[in-house]
Amino acid sequence: MRPSTHLWLTLTRVWLPIAIAVAGVVAIVVGGGTDSGTSATGVGLLIVALIVWLLNWMFRLSVASNRDREREEEARRYFDIHGERADE
């Protein structure tokens, strides 16, 4: 993986949700934790941070699942050709 790609992945997976959550906490503190619009915005930002983190997590699970399927398919092809598993 290229360094620039790794940087963007790290920014998106880790720092974006953290930045959104920090902005949410700041909005709650500025709003005084009362029933104001600023506090409600802060809570909304915390929810958005959680959603961004969950989407990144689910995407990583999906990619890992695809890799597992590809390995399994390759093992099946090997078995069809050689009549035995590769690890035997």
Q: Where do the domains of the chain lie? A: 12-82
Asked if 14 and 35 touch (Cβ cutoff 8 Å), the reply is no
Asked if 43 and 20 touch (Cβ cutoff 8 Å), the reply is no
Q: Say whether pLDDT at 88 is over 70.
A: no
pLDDT digits over 44-68, tens only? 999 999 999 999 999 888 887 777 7
How many Å is the Cα radius of gyration of the chain?
Answer: 22
**Token couple for 48:** 């958005």
Q: Say whether pLDDT at 9 is over 70.
A: yes
Q: What per-residue confidence (pLDDT) applies to 1?
A: 64
Percent of the chain with pLDDT over 70: 97
The C-alpha atoms of residue 44 and residue 57 are separated, in whole angstroms, by 20
Q: What per-residue confidence (pLDDT) applies to 72?
A: 84
| Consecutive H or E run containing 44 | helix 37-82
